[in-house]
Structure 1
Amino acid sequence: MTTTVAAVPFRFFALHVVRTARLGPSLVRVTFAGDDLAAFRSDGLDQSLSLFLPHPGQDAPAVPVELGDGWWQGWRELPDDVRAVMRSYTLRALRADAHGRTTEIDIDFVLHGVEPGALAPAGPASLWASRAGASDRVLLLGPAIADNRAIRFRPPTGTDLVVIWADETAVPAASAILEQLPAGTRAQVWLEAGHAGDIQDLETAADAEITWLVRGATTATATGATTGAVVGTGTGTAAPTALEAVRGAQLPSAERPYAWIAGESSAVKELRRHLVGERGIDRRAVTFVGYWRRGLSEEQLREQSE
């Protein structure tokens, strides 16, 4: 008799910070490495991850000693000021060695409340990322199987137009998607930024028209190109809301469009209703992901979903 052992799709990875890079006033990229990454696998462009961070004064995130099936309950039972901070992120990039083993991964953090004079205090993840330094330790819950359920960007065969909208929390995933779209792919893209200085030069082989929306300031329009960097320039006009920007756009004609929209939950729901109800895109060809909900912390959001 042959016994088959199913591969575990997700596992914990003990990692440490290798370096950080400030991308803009409210963006920082943190690069992680660790021996465990040799087992990290992902073929996704919007791979979702769970990151466990230490509190100030801790040298490593506090999690249950045994990370088996009961880790969630064990983690929840730890005292609030001890229990590791858990936050959801998307993979920005990974690098592998000649044998295909992952050696480094990048995660981009949006910083809120760390700037001087901020109206609201920084959350624990923003505070950690703003102070992260080499050798700082974290724990990652991520994929050990390349094709896994935490990958959502899956355009159907025959897609002839890709529509993307992402707020700043989803820009890392949207950027990874754009960088890997095949040449000749038509794409209409809207990306939100908290500050004009957060606008990034994105390289894509796709025939992409990219518009940066700087919330509360100006609209930054970017000219899509079949090759090379995409550069945003401010227009000096008030930035429209996500729905206004998409509703006011003339989408290229397409027989089989596919949409990927991710970010704040209520905005994502509005955009989905517009794309399906007003644009006539097949609801099965619209991937929508609420990364966060206005007015709720991630802990509160998780409590509501339990």
Structure 2
Amino acid sequence: MGQVMPVSHVRVTGVERITPRTARVTFTGDALPRLLEDRPDQQMKLCLPREGRSVAEGLLPEQSAEDAYGMRWYEAFLAIPEARRPWMRSFTIRSYDRRYNAMAVDFVLHGDLHGNGGPAARWGAAARPGDVLGMVGPSSLYARPLPEAARLLLAGDETALPAIATVLEALPAATGALVYAEVADAAEERELPPTAGGVEVHWVHRDRGGSLVAAVREAGPALDGVDAAWVAGEASAVRALRRHLVDEHQLPKAAVEFSGYWRRALTQDDAPTEEDLAWAAERAADAS
């Protein structure tokens, strides 16, 4: 695709509240047809304006083709004065319709029902057609193949639901799926795509004291036949689940695809912790 992490702009064309705490925002953009691919779990970053600002053309640095992994671009991004520098948050593309050049992205509105949480939640709750954001990526450089499986476990919180849906849509016909999804309450449940190999879905509700880690640990016979897993969501929960699946369920490390989408009490603006760096190194080692 030329640039490793291409930089472009996208414009809002529609907003739909699909659950009380989730807004689905539809974007269009001139660069989308050449950037988006037909694969699951496409991750990119959106640049969100600070209050009273916009992410206009010319604000974001250009990406050099020689800038492998975008490190120089990120340094230039950080050099933008803080008062003008957009917030940058990671998202998974829920869907892309080439006929209409329409990309759908789900915004989880953490905090109360009005989205009084972080920058992404606030922006998602107030998004209107015509709003413009910067977009960094996606890049096939970071695409990871799904683990081959007869029965695949998919586990995550609401931030992972868009990716889980795209994974289900991409599964081979011979692969069965088992989903454990943690959400705030029953109102946050949503329909997930059916699969040719069959899908069994278990919703875990925080308002009833449920947790994703506990639910999977206590799944017992429900995990029979699971020979690979895809796990994403809050980083500490992802780490705990991966340890359980490898140590207790005896899955090979290479059979567990994992990604920490967010960190409790920390944001993407905070420096990575030593544990974050250690897990990033292990993830890279597993992929090599």
State the TM-score, normalized to the length of structure 1: 0.80
Q: Distance in 2 between matches of 1:257 and 1:103?
A: 37
Distance, in Å, in 2 between the alignment partners of 1:11 and 1:173 is: 21
- Report if aligned partners of 2:45, 2:90 keep a CA contact under 8 Å in 1: yes
Matched, 1:63 2:63: no
Alpha-carbon spacing, 1:34–1:129, altered in 2? closer, same or farther (3 Å)? same
Q: Does 1:131 align with 2:131?
A: no
Q: Which residue of 2 aligns with 1:215?
A: 206
Equivalent residues in 2 for 1:258-297, closer than 5 Å: 258-297=228-267
Q: Does 1:188 align with 2:184?
A: no
Partner of residue 224, structure 1: none
Q: How does 1:108-123 map to 2 (within 5 A)?
A: 108-115=106-113, 121-123=116-118
Between the two proteins, the alignment pairs up a number of residues equal to 267
Higher RCO (C-alpha under 8 Å, 6+ residues apart): 2
Pick the aligned partner of 1:41 from 24, 36, 42: 36
Give the secondary structure class of the aligned counterpart of 1:46: coil
CA 243–16 in structure 1, closer or farther in 2 if over 3 Å, else same: same
Query: Who is 1:3 aligned against?
Result: none
Closer/same/farther in 2, CA of residues 34 and 64 from structure 1, 3 Å limit: closer
Structure-2-length-normalised TM-score: 0.84
Distance in 2 between the 1:204 and 1:47 partners?
A: 20
Cα distance, 1:96–1:272 mapped onto 2, change above 3 Å: same
The aligned amino acid for 2:45 is: S
Q: Which residue of 1 aligns with 2:87?
A: 85
- Structure 1 counterpart of 2:269: 299
Paired residues of 1:163 and 1:260 also in contact (CA < 8 A) = yes
Measured in 2, the distance between the counterparts of 1:280 and 1:30 equals 40
Richer in helix (by share)? 2
Cα distance change, pair 80–186 in 1 and its aligned pair in 2 (3 A):
same
Choose 28-37 or 73-82, whichever is displaced more.
73-82
Question: Which of 94, 97, 103 is the aligned partner of 1:95?
Answer: 97
Alignment partners' CA distance in 2, 1:270 and 1:18: 39
Following the alignment from structure 2 to structure 1, what is the Cα–Cα distance between the partners of residues 184 and 243?
25
Q: Please tell me the residue identity of whatever aligns with 1:74.
A: A
20, 27, 32: which one aligns with 1:32:
27
Q: Aligned equivalents of 2:271 and 2:207: distance in 1?
A: 26
What is the root-mean-square deviation in Å for CA atoms of aligned residues? 2.3
Consecutive unaligned residues in structure 2, runs of 5 or more: 278-288
1:141-164 CA-partner distances (Å, limit 9, x unpaired): 1236xxx233335123xx211011
Unpaired runs of 5+ residues, structure 1, are: 1-5, 218-237
**How big is the shift at 1:105?**
0.9
Give the conservation status (yes or no) of the 8 Å contact 1:114–1:126: no
Match of 1:244 among 214, 226, 249: 214
Residues 152 and 195 of structure 1, relative CA distance in 2, 3 Å threshold: farther
Instruction: Judge conservation of contact 2:3–2:63 (CA < 8 Å) in 1.
Output: no
Counterpart of 1:165 in structure 2 is 155
Tell me whether 1:155 sits opposite 2:147 in the alignment. yes
- Which residue in 1 is equivalent to 2:166? 176
**Is the contact made by 2:94 and 2:105 (CA closer than 8 Å) also made in structure 1?**
yes
**In terms of Rg, which structure is larger?**
1
